[in-house]
Amino acid sequence: MSEDEAPLFISWLSTLIAAPVGLVFVIIIFGNTAAQLSTSNWDTTIGTIGDYDSFCNYDSEGGCMWEEDIEYLYTVGDKNYTNNQVSLGWTEVIYEDFYEDFPEEGDEIVVFYNPDWPQEAVIIAGWEGIDPTDMIVFTLGIIIPLIAFIRARSKGTISEAYYELRGFVGMAREFQQHVSSFTNDQDQWNGEQRAPIQGQNVQVSSNVDTEGISPSRTRRYNSVIAKLSLGESMTEAEVKMKLQTELDLSQNDAQKFVESPYVRSIIFPNYSSFESTAHETKKEISENNLESQLISSFQNAMEEAMEKQANSIDSTVTVNPDVETCSHPECNAAMTFYSFQCFSCRKKYCNEHKGSSIHCIECS
């Protein structure tokens, strides 16, 4: 399948739509044409024009479509009838085109009526009452679905189209999962940070009372809490242990961190305001030194984590089917999400090495 050609299932879908639409037009036009041709064998009588008017019906774009209103009277046996039917063709013809002079009220005309049902009558019988465009539409109603079927069948069977459609649906779902996964990974760094507490996502908000701590220091504290997943169910000893093992802080520095009033107000909810004032006064001198060491350790830990994540992404890219190279052993063309993918082995190939159907050359 070339880049300009529609997928196989699109061709079959067009065929399945064109076939019933064309069949409807063929049936309607055929029925009206047969009924109109049968009027050639109807009985005739002399009638008169009761009312006649012709006018131009303008559309919204200023185009003109010529229309007419006609009413004629005729008698069959001892009964009088009134009718306005000109012909029975699918497209209504204009009686004025078949009349030598402009029809006027009281003019005599030939009326063709159904001998079995005199109420049914026309004033133009046989082929003359069939508009040429009816035959054009009738022919197109047969040819277009036939051509669509031949083209679709030349590309593959309807069962192959069904499996190809399933393959496209599967690829779309995979793409949606990749987008959803990427969005979820980004959400934790957009806006406010989130720290898991007892298996739940608890928001670490910047609106917590900082008791005079600068906004930058507050954000750093929030980052460390989010990084270490410090929860309200943890004891002070457990928090200090995580700081020492995961951020390589000394025992003294870990103690200073947990004694920060702001940190204690988040990870230890029962921390009182009185205790906050006492700790703030006691540790004010050494806090700046702790902050420097904490930030340095945190930056080192973040750099290591980012390096591991980059290595993980590189390895993922190698095996990710959406960004892999052509599976042909001698081709290094980069593949995209829309590249050809074999329905059987799920390998991707470039346009030069792909198969002629939904299967690659090896699986054909």
Strand ranges inside 87-133, DSSP E: 108-114, 117-122
| pLDDT value of residue 181 | 66
Buried b (16+ CB within 10 A) or exposed e, 335-350: beeebbbbbeeebbbb
| pLDDT value of residue 305 | 62
| pLDDT value of residue 42 | 94
In one letter, which amino acid is 20?
Answer: P
pTM above 0.75, yes or no: no
| pLDDT value of residue 341 | 80
Q: Which candidate, 247, 240, 36, places its Cα nearest to that of 130?
A: 36
The phi, psi pair for 293, rounded to 5°, reads -65, -40
H/E run at residue 362: none
The residue whose two tokens read 């902050």 is 291
| pLDDT value of residue 290 | 62
Structure tokens at 326: 């052509």
pLDDT by residue, tens only, the chain of 364 residues: 544 567 888 888 888 888 899 999 999 999 999 999 999 999 999 999 998 887 777 777 777 777 888 899 999 988 999 999 999 988 888 887 777 667 888 889 999 999 999 999 999 999 988 988 899 999 999 999 999 889 888 888 888 888 888 887 888 887 877 777 666 655 544 444 444 444 444 444 444 444 556 666 777 777 777 777 665 567 778 888 887 887 777 888 778 777 787 777 777 666 544 454 445 555 554 555 666 666 666 666 666 666 665 555 444 444 445 557 888 888 888 877 667 788 778 788 887 887 777 778 777 7
Residues 77, 80, 86, 89: what is their CA dihedral angle, to the nearest 10 degrees?
Answer: -60
| pLDDT value of residue 97 | 76
Structure tokens at 81: 């009838």
Q: Which candidate, 170, 155, 140, places its Cα nearest to that of 12?
A: 155
Whole-number Å distance between alpha carbons of 350 and 355: 10
In degrees, rounded to 5, the angle at the alpha carbon of residue 82 between the alpha carbons of residues 68 and 71 is 15
Contact indicator for 76, 136 with CB cutoff of 8 Å = no
Whole-number Å distance between alpha carbons of 105 and 348: 78
In degrees, rounded to 5, the angle at the alpha carbon of residue 68 between the alpha carbons of residues 64 and 70 is 175
| pLDDT value of residue 110 | 92
| pLDDT value of residue 205 | 42
In degrees, rounded to 5, the angle at the alpha carbon of residue 319 between the alpha carbons of residues 316 and 321 is 110
| pLDDT value of residue 71 | 92
Whole-number Å distance between alpha carbons of 359 and 349: 10
Q: How many beta carbons lie within 10 A of that of residue 47, not counting itself?
A: 24
Q: How many beta carbons lie within 10 A of that of residue 246, not counting itself?
A: 15
The residue whose two tokens read 């054909």 is 364
Cα-Cα end-to-end distance for the chain: 14
Whole-number Å distance between alpha carbons of 324 and 93: 65
